[in-house]
Structures are given as structure tokens and as C-alpha cells.
Amino acid sequence: MVNKKKSKGQAPAQQVIQQTITRFFKQHPRKAYNAKQLIRKLDLSSNRDAVFHALTKLVDNNVITPAFEDKFRLAGKAASSRPEKAPRSKEPLIGSVDLTRSGAAFISVPGLERDVFIPPHAVNTALQGDTVEVRLRQSRRGGRPEGEIVSIVKRLNDNFIGTIRLSRKHGILVPDKLNVSFDILIGLDDLAGAKDGEKVVVQVTEWPGPDKKMRNPRGIVTGRLNDQSINDVEMQAILVHNGFQLYFGKEALAVANAFPSRIPEEEAKHRRDFRDILTFTIDPEDAKDFDDALSYRALEDGGCEVGVHIADVTHYLQQDSALDQEAYERSTSVYLVDRVLPMLPERLSNELCSLRPDEDSLTFSAVFTFDSQDKLIDRWFGKTIIHSHRRFSYEDAQEVLDSKSGDHVEELLHVNRIATKLRKQRFKDGSISFESEEVKFRLNEDGVPIEVYTKERKEAHLLIEDFMLLANKEVAAFIQKKSEGQEIPFVYRVHDLPDPDKLNDFVLFAKEVGFKMEVKTPEQVARSFNKLAEASKENEMLRMLEPLAIRTMAKAAYTTKNIGHYGLGFADYTHFTSPIRRYSDVLVHRILAKNLDGVWRVDKALLEAKCLHISQQERRAMDAERESIKYKQVEFIEKHVGEIFEGQISGMMDKGIFVQLKGSLVEGMAPFSNFPEPFEVDDSRLKTRGKHSGTVLKMGDTINVQIMRADLAQRQVEMRVIWE
């Protein structure tokens, strides 16, 4: 169980606690919560026993009622009453846009039970992911609030890919992306040489105002794509459509290119020097940005010192510079199948900050001392200078571990032994083991996939992962402990408890396929998920449950509110180890550095706003990465239309079944319209039965399918079941 820190201050009176909890349940009449969730969500400064006492009183007074396990929900009569009314139309509502194919939108507004429906004519140029201001109208559609978008608070994206059409007066960009209901006007002087019919990237410089005198946005051409391959255009379109800039600004590049290549000796004097201590990196074979390294030094008492050395990006990335502002806007590097869109220009990411072999590098380090029994007994944080003596690929390091011979074998075996013990302790403390299969591609010179396979994680991968987890945990614990007198606002990486409704549904779902979950406490939930992960290695049916289990989990995020990391089983956790590709780590480095020898506080509200932006950018990057994988999977299977593959049933709906091919993990639909008889899907969505023959197909069943169609534009694959 994650141990949450108790807030300072006097606990509110019992009556106030009861009133606060009652109001919360009335705002969420259909959901169930336990005491721990209420403490966290309501920011109650009282202890767990006080909240339990309040819950008991509320149950006695028939305000709430036990739901399932240790959770409660609003009592029947109150729960059946209408939820609190939505704000009146005069009150401003701010929310995020979810656009539909029809051109209508749904706006997710914090505090509203249901999303606000926006008809197509009232969307007013808003696009997917935009933050908008909404004015409510009278509710329709079965009580769902309806409204119109009156202003755009923040655009997700100002860049679009499309085709240029030229007239005598101006150019017009016709965007490629679906659901973009407008064209973009481009002045003849802003075409950057683009010709009629050419594929280009355009940045919008002026959007229509509320007076609507200007009907179309105006923009400039920032990139021409006609000389690039279809693959390059598609990958860049994925990045642009998810809100990422393809090119760095001139000012940011000028800052990056102005840094000297050599490290001044004066700088080295102010740092702890590790250049004479064995230091190595372990990374993917094709890696270019090495942001972490390990050092090893044996101690006379049989123990050792292991340094986790992280690129000192903040030495170069000066706060509020043009380069820093652009890095913050991006917030993350984006890893597509065949390329990386870096958070920092290559001058930094692949050169100055990269911990390349046989070079001195500036680092920010977490140095750990272990005794002869591999027990952690001391830790140190500070600015350092290192010299990487050896670059291992994961395959190289694994070969040394397997053969117990090769470069630095004794050191690698020792750090691997420590990592293994750290891992075992982590799972003992409640960490959850969910390792979804990672799809990898082998591409030809044109970027076309010729092989799709799943990546295998071995000891070398886990070794690095465990030391990075240790560094992240210990940095967060250091700041948390230092905050005991007065809070030091910090960037925590948090992971909430599973959603109670989703978890309850999953428990019933798992029971249908013969797997019993124990979920009375968070510790039981973690143990049950770990047992499922272990059992799924031998049972293909259970393997289909793992993605569903992951969906019950809350999304990890960045915030100044330290609620712990449930999935890892850590009370304190942050991201310190990848500042080349994550801006969260840049913020952590800055705050940690200023608090090593004193106390320094940043404005918490401002830091929380930055955390929100970084979390949003992270989700957009993940969407882009998934989209690129899906595109390449469909592109791969497109060359195999007509062929037969073995797969597993991975889902069911009224129109047909979803099948995931073994090995490539390509997923497609086999519609019931191609079945030899009508099939009905069971209410559980776990099986379907033929009306005439009684033939049953179940989730996880292995079947053969023929590839009938692959639609790259829609990222869809159609399959046909091969009946024996």
C-alpha cells in the first residue's frame, strides 16, 4: 500500500467532515469511493479513523450506503434524485473539445456530470483537444447539457498539413485531417515557393475573431513535403495532427548553436569528479541521445558505490530563454516507429548533453552506497562530471550477463545482483507487474515494414530500469522529507488507485473466464493483478485480460500533490532520469539543485499549471506513437491481403469480432456479415454463439483468419474467419 503523507494542521470538526463527504457524494451520485480515496480527493487534513467515523455516521443516517468491498455510494433515495444542476448559462464554462466525425463536439467540463453537446454549427472553428469557453443552452437529448463555443481559450495545434491551391489573390490550404471544416488562406508572399497542388505544412498566424468578420484562418507555409516519400509525409502528419511542431524556431536554434563544444575547466572544478571511476551506458543499439550512465566503485568493506549519472541539461537550458520556452511547449520527445521528434535540438540532445563514450560530460547524479549484503545505506545528490568508458547496447550487456564473461563482467554482475534485489523488494512492497508487449518493426530503406515482431525484455533492460526507479524514488523522498517543516513545491509523478467502477466491472469480467480477483484493499488489488500477470504467461485466455486490466488503472500524471505512485508501490516518486526527452525532469533538476544546500520554493500554482501542460503533452505524444504503430501495422499487412494467419479473439461487438494476429499484434475485425450463419454476442461480450449450429467463439480463442482488406487511410483491417 502506498503510504500517503498526512497534511499539517488541525483536523476539521466531525460535523464539517460529514458535510464535506455528503456534498461530494451528491456531486457524484453514481460512483463509489472508499475512505482513502475521499481523504485524497477532498484534501481532508484529518486522519483515516476520523473519516471512517464520519462514514459510519452517514451510513447510520441513511445518507450513504455500503456498495462493494470497502466502498460506499449515495443512498438509494438520494442517489435516484437528480444530480446538482449545471451552472447557469451566464457562468463561463471552460472545457476540452472531443470532436466527432459528424462535426459536432462534446466538451468535457470539470465538475459537470455529463459532457456538453455542441451541434456542428456552434463549434466555431474549434478542433480536437482545444480548450474552449462554452455558453450553455437549454438541455436536450435526454437531459444532456447543450451549448455553443463562444471562444477558444487555447489551441492544441496551429499547424496543419494539406494541399495548396493557388488563385490570383492568395493560396488556400485544404487540410488533410478529417473534421477540419475550414480552409486556410495564405498570402502570395507567404507561400515559401510552394506550387499549386503541392503538399505543405502551414502555421496559422491569425484565427477568426468573435466578430466573425474574417471567416477563414490565415497562415504561412513553414515546410514543403512534395520531395519527401509517402512514409515521411504520413509520419509528419501524425506529429502535426497531434499538436507537435516539426521545426525548431530560429531563436531557439541560435541559442543551442551558441554553446561551446568543450567543457571549461573552471566548470569541472565546481563538480564532484567521477572521470577516473568506471562509467558505462546501456542503451538500445540505435540510440543517439544517452541521458543516463552508471558508475561502479568497489569499497574496501565488500560493499560498492553505484552512481546514476543523468545529463545535466539545465546547465545549457537556461530558464526562460527562447530555447527553454520551446522545450517547455514541446515538453517531451516523440518516438514514432521510424524517427524521433526531439524535445531539444540535436545540438543538445545528440551532442552536448548526450553521455557519449570516450568523452567528458556534465551530469547531475544520484550516488548510492550499498553494503556487502547489497543493502542501501547511503545516498548523495549533486552536480558531477563523468567520462563514459564503455557504451553497451542492451544486447552487448545481456551477452556479458548470460556468458559471465566479457568487458567489466564483475561490475555488471554485481549491479545486476543489486537490481534484482531492488526489484524483488519493490514487488514485495506492492508494485504491480504489467508488461504489455512492445511492437517493433524492421523497415526497408523506404521506411516500409518488412517484419513485425514483439520486443523481449531481458535482464539488461531491467537492470537499467531498476536503478532509474531507485534514483527517481530517492530524489522524491529527499524533497518530501525536506518539506516536513514547510512544503517545497515539487513535481511528483503520481498514479492513483484504480477507478472503483471500472475495477468492479473487471472483477466480474475476470470471474466469467475463471480468474478470481481479491479487491478488498489496495494491497489485494496489486497482488491479484500480479497473479493475473503470472497466470497469463501460461493461459492465452487470461492474456487477453491484461489490456483490460490496465484500463482500470488511473493514468499516471505530473502534479505538485504527492499522492504516491500506486502502480510502483512508492509513497514518493518523481522523474529525474531523462531531462533530454522530458521537461518534467528539467523542472525536477532545477528544484533539486536549489534545495541541496538550502531551502528554495517556487510558486506552487505556477508549477501545477506547468505539470498539467506537461501531462497533456505526454498523452498527445503517446497518441502519436500509437498512431504510428497502427499505421505501420496496417502498411505491413497490406502486403499480405489474401493470406491466412493465426490470431486470437481480442474483442467482440454487435457487428463482429476483433482478432489480434500472433507475432505482429496486428488487429482487425471479422464482421458477422461474412460468417456462414447469424451469430449473437453474449451480454458479457466474452463469447458469441451461432444461432443454428450453436458454435461458440470465446475471448482468447485461437482461430485462423484471412486478410480481406487493409485501409491505410482509416487504419483499419478487415478479416474473414477460416472455418474448419
CATH number of the domain that residue 136 is part of: 2.40.50.140
For 405-441, the pLDDT digits (tens) are: 999 999 999 999 999 999 999 999 999 987 777 889 9
**Burial of 476 (C-beta count, 10 Å sphere; 0-12/13-18/19+):** buried
Nearest to 47 by CA among 1, 72, 3, 11: 11
3-class DSSP state of 44: coil
> What is d(CA 194, CA 25) in angstroms, rounded to the nearest whole number?
58
| Domain residue limits at 527 | 498-553
> What is d(CA 582, CA 699) in angstroms, rounded to the nearest whole number?
38
**97 and 27 assigned to the same domain:** no
Domain count, the chain: 5
**179 and 118 assigned to the same domain:** no
Q: What is the mean pLDDT of residues 556-583?
A: 96
Q: What is the mean pLDDT of residues 470-486?
A: 95
Residue 565 has pLDDT above 50, yes or no: yes
> What is d(CA 156, CA 239) in angstroms, rounded to the nearest whole number?
12
> What is d(CA 190, CA 455) in angstroms, rounded to the nearest whole number?
45
DSSP of 200-211: EEEEEEE---TT
Q: What is the mean pLDDT of residues 131-141?
A: 77
Is 5 part of any domain? no
For 616-657, the pLDDT digits (tens) are: 999 999 999 999 999 999 999 999 999 999 999 988 998 999
Is 434 part of any domain? no
Q: Which of 139-143, 341-345, 501-505 has the highest mean pLDDT?
A: 341-345
**505 and 520 assigned to the same domain:** yes
> What is d(CA 328, CA 558) in angstroms, rounded to the nearest whole number?
14
Q: Which three cell numbers stand for residue 663?
A: 507475432
> What is d(CA 35, CA 86) in angstroms, rounded to the nearest whole number?
27
pLDDT for the residue numbered 229: 81
**Which residues share a beta bridge with 136?**
147
Q: What is the mean pLDDT of residues 512-526?
A: 86
Nearest to 330 by CA among 633, 621, 604, 93: 621
pTM, rounded to two decimals: 0.81
**703 and 647 assigned to the same domain:** yes
Residue 10 has pLDDT above 50, yes or no: no
The gap from C-alpha 187 to its chain's centroid, in whole angstroms, comes to 39
Q: Please tell me the least confidently modeled range out of 19-28, 38-47, 114-123, 669-678.
A: 38-47
Report percent pLDDT > 70 for the chain. 92
Is 436 part of any domain? no
φ, ψ (nearest 5 deg) of residue 455: -75, 135
Is 69 part of any domain? yes
**Which residues share a beta bridge with 366?**
308, 381
Is 192 part of any domain? yes
**57 and 106 assigned to the same domain:** no
Task: Return all residues near 248 (Cβ < 8 A) that are at least 6 apart.
Answer: 256, 326, 345
Is 563 part of any domain? no
Residue 7 has pLDDT above 80, yes or no: no
Is 645 part of any domain? yes
3-class DSSP state of 428: helix
CATH number at residue 58: 1.10.10
* pLDDT level of residue 46 (50, 70, 90 thresholds): very low
* Average pLDDT of the residues of the chain: 87
